[in-house]
Amino acid sequence: MGIEGRVWKYGDNVNTDVIFPGKYTYTIHDPHEMAKHAMEDLDPDFAKNIRENDIVVAGRNFGCGSSREQAATCLKFAKVGAVVAKSFARIFFRNAINMGLALVQCPEAVDRIENGEAVKIDFEKGELTCKVGVFRFPPLPEFVLGIIQDGGLILHTKKKLAKLTEAQSKTG
């Protein structure tokens, strides 16, 4: 599984308020509508010009701040292929996994990647290829990968519950 896309590069501590402003948190429920406001208070051009599989590259602590899941949802539905960062804030990290949004933690690559360049990511091999070369990144824990592979937490849970029901109907 891999993707190739253009880079949108940002700095450290990109917080959830600039990714998805608080004023929309209870007024927008449709994820496609959320996508139109992705990164609005950081880069108003982002949502207008983002193309499928484009890659967000950022510094340390990406997604810090609120627990708002829409910060992950809006990027997922804006069709961002992956977020590559030096590090991620904890709740954003969980939310991204739960939404099935791919995250790559690769501090070495971040400093060498330039805004606008084309980058290729192979998730299975754990390899990121950019203009200056190839960088390796550690794969996610198996349990977590399972959630992403099922398409996010909700589908993962539905699958688990279906298995449980099946097992119960066999025994009962």
Residue 102 CB neighbour total at 10 angstroms? 19
Q: Kindly write out the interface string for residues 19-58 of this chain, putting x where it contacts another protein by CB under 8 A and - elsewhere.
A: --xxx-xxx-x----------xxx----------------
Q: Residue count at the site for another protein (CB under 8 A)?
A: 41
- For residue 166, the SS3 value is helix
Place of tokens 């589908």: 155
Which residues neighbour 75 within 8 Å (Cβ) at sequence distance 6 or greater?
Answer: 19, 35, 38, 39, 56, 83, 96, 101
Structure tokens at 146: 């399972």
What length does the chain have? 172
- Nearest approach, Cβ of residue 126 and another protein (Å): 19
Helix axes 70-77, 90-99, angle to 10 degrees: 40
Asked if 76 is part of the footprint of another protein (rule: CB under 8 A), the reply reads no
Q: Does 132 bind another protein (CB under 8 A)?
A: no
Q: Can you tell me which of 55, 91, 140, 148 binds another protein, judged by CB under 8 A?
A: 91
129 binds another protein (CB under 8 A): no
Binding residues for another protein, rule: CB under 8 A, are 12-13, 15, 17-18, 21-23, 25-27, 29, 40-42, 60-61, 64-67, 69, 72, 87, 89-91, 94-95, 98-99, 141, 143-144, 152-154, 157-158, 160-161
